[in-house]
């Protein structure tokens, strides 16, 4: 095993244990409008070498500018299959 095989990926760093919370926009392959949610203590992300599935503890709606406007009521989170993710944007604080 080389040292490269032991290095974390950018995904592993962004979603590491103890990471700060964030608001997240997840862009899926073949879809223009992103999914949105809150990455917090109850969220999970797969790490290498396993799949990079993502569970966000809250699903959020986006306004017409694709900015976070409110948590979607009565949801228990948002799961995204890692093989469908094109890219992810993470935002600090109140997402505004």
Q: State pLDDT tens for residues 34-60.
A: 999 999 999 999 988 888 999 999 999
CATH code of the domain in which 63 resides: 2.30.30.100
| CB contact at 8 A, 26 and 86 | no
Q: Say what the pTM is.
A: 0.85
Instruction: Give the chain's mean pLDDT.
Output: 89
Split into its structural domains, the chain has a count of 1
Say if 96 falls within a structural domain. Answer: no
Asked whether the predicted pLDDT for residue 77 surpasses 60, the reply is: yes
Closest CA to 9 of 42, 50, 43, 37: 50
Peptide bond just before 9 cis, omega within 30 deg? no
Kindly state the average pLDDT of the residues 5-13.
80
Task: Using alpha carbons, list the distances in angstroms from residue 2 to 5, 6, 7, 18.
Answer: 5, 7, 9, 27
Give the E-state strand segments of 11-67 in sequence order: 22-28, 35-39, 44-45, 54-56, 58-62
Domain membership of residue 75 as a residue range: 3-91
């Amino acid at each position: 095993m080389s040292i490269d095989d032991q290095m974390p990926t950018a995904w592993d760093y962004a979603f590491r244990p103890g990471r700060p919370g964030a608001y997240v926009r997840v862009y899926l392959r073949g879809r223009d409008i992103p999914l949105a949610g809150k990455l917090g203590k109850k969220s999970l992300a797969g790490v290498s070498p396993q799949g990079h599935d993502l569970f966000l503890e809250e699903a959020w709606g986006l306004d017409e500018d694709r900015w976070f406007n409110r948590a979607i009521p009565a949801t228990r989170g948002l799961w995204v299959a890692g093989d469908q993710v094109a890219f992810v944007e993470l935002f600090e604080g109140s997402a505004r």
